[in-house]
Amino acid sequence: GAVVSQHPSWVICKSGTSVKIECRSLDFQATTMFWYRQFPKQSLMLMATSNEGSKATYEQGVEKDKFLINHASLTLSTLTVTSAHPEDSSFYICSARRGLAGYTFGSGTRLTVV
């Protein structure tokens, strides 16, 4: 079946530094990937849609200059949290779409900014 690998699974960084999270589709090509964020005991919130070879589409309220998304190939999308602050601490999850409406999620990345 479709497998999506997300790395790292957890990361601790200092306030003001940048963190890159990778999302790879291992056995299929994904022209579209999605990035979500989940705060404790909350829903998963869609942050942005990552399209291979073009700019990402950000949801309302998500700062595109803070959350940089690059989808340079059909199997890799990256999310870079720039100048991270403690309020950016969250669980970030990527999802890749295989065909129409076939979503597979990565295992998530727990980001803690200290």
Partner 1 sequence: DQQVKQNSPSLSVQEGRISILNCDYTNSMFDYFLWYKKYPAEGPTFLISISSIKDKNEDGRFTVFLNKSAKHLSLHIVPSQPGDSAVYFCAASAQGGADGLTFGKGTHLIIQP
Task: Provide the binding-site residues for partner 1, judged by CB under 8 A.
Answer: 4, 6, 9, 34, 36, 41-46, 49, 59, 91, 93, 95, 97, 100-108, 110
Q: Which is nearer to partner 1, 29 or 42 (CB)?
A: 42
What is the DSSP code (8-state) at residue 101?
T
DSSP states along 38-93: E-TTS-EEEEEEEETTS--EEPTT--TTTEEEEEEETTEEEEEE-S--GGG-EEEE
Report in angstroms how near the CB of residue 108 gets to partner 1 at its nearest.
5
Report in angstroms how near the CB of residue 89 gets to partner 1 at its nearest.
13
